[in-house]
Amino acid sequence: MNPNSKRREDYRRRRASTNLYRNQVFAKPKVTNKGNVFARICGIIVVFGICCSLAWAAHMYFTLHSAIDGENGDFATSARIANKQPISILILGVDQGIEGRHDRGNSDTLILATANPDKSKATMTSIPRDTLANILGDPGDKYNIFRVNSAYGVGGSSASMRTVSALLNVPIYYYVEVNMQALKNLVNAVGGVDVNVPFKFSYDWCDFHKGKQHLNGRHAVAYVRMRHDDPRGDYGRQMRQRQVITAVVNKAISVDSVANYRKLVKIFTKYVKTNLTFNDMLALALNYRNCSQNLDSNYIQGHDAWINGSSIQVAPTSELQKASNKLRTNLNLTKEVLDNDETRLNTMNEQNNNIKWKDPNPFTNYQIYHSVISSEEDNKSQSSADTSVNVNAIDK
């Protein structure tokens, strides 16, 4: 046998009888887990979504902040709101720009709201626009007692705050002034609102039927302005105002209207004035929202009167005292017996003119006694509102 052939045969036998293993570390084939790939892709999508959401939220925050406070506005939250103390806000609906008006106008709506986060309670007190009050800001050359809504025409929101503060002996810390034109645009921006119409009526070429009805901006303005055909007069109108305001707020904070925030900001910038900063509003939304769950809504009931040829609502001392007590209590202030120009006038008329508050007929003998009316300077020190006003003549 060929020696070489023998060696090859021996080699094949030895190899066949030997167990050879591959290097598992380097030679193991790579196996792909489809589940892990899917999880990683989902994770990337989630992280990307969060980043986009944060970027969008930051953009919306600074857009809103810039619109409300201005590009150089103060980011600070006021100390009272930052410390979660009770607050009061005067809500003014002004009629400038409605029915062809281009002057300052009067405050068509006056609502004094308070919120106490510790008590989880809020109050809303509507003040009839024709309520007799000492208008702080009047130069005093003719008179300084007239309808409370004329205070806005005298000195804007500052005069309104001082006047209402003195009327009810309540400090007013903030105000929100809304041009009535804003209501039309706000309602349209949120896609209209649904209200429960209390009775059938027509006003300003708009028809309303009893029951649930969807209102656009023009109809909403007509709905809250009509007064003379309401059996309850201005008190019925105040109720309708609260209906629309509540409906607008509910839709403005809904998911469906988030995409319209640019429209809302534009409207807010143009038609709304306030001494609340954006951070104030944000803090109110976060720390005072529990107050809305316990809302005490009411109004001051006045008595019809004709004074010097003008139709006026005279509020009895008992009504003013009741409202003052409720407001001061929710502000953690002690109750105080009202002693102001309005209550002194009531006392003088009860004594000298035999005024009877239970008489359903309008007063025709209610008189203004200037001897009991405090000067504006006497009242300035009693008010916590801003004392800087523009004083103009009151339009009779």
Residues 296-338 pLDDT 10s: 888 899 999 999 889 999 999 999 999 999 999 999 999 999 9
pLDDT band at 17 (very low <50, low <70, confident <90, very high): low
Q: What is the C-alpha to C-alpha distance for residues 106 and 94, in angstroms, rounded to an integer?
A: 6
* Unique residue bearing structure tokens 């017996």: 337
101-113: average pLDDT: 70
- Half-sphere exposure (CA, 13 Å, Cβ side) for 369? 18
231-243: average pLDDT: 81
Give the pLDDT of residue 267.
Answer: 77
Each residue's pLDDT tens digit, 37-79: 666 666 666 665 555 555 545 555 555 555 555 544 555 678 9
The residue that leads in pLDDT, 287 or 96, is: 287
Q: What is the C-alpha to C-alpha distance for residues 294 and 53, in angstroms, rounded to an integer?
A: 33
pLDDT at 139 over 70: no
The residues facing 176 across adjacent strands are: 91, 274
pLDDT at 243 over 60: yes
Each residue's pLDDT tens digit, 159-176: 999 999 999 999 999 998
**β-pairing verdict for 303-307 and 132-134:** unpaired
Give the pLDDT of residue 384.
Answer: 39
The residue that leads in pLDDT, 87 or 55, is: 87
Give the pLDDT of residue 254.
Answer: 59
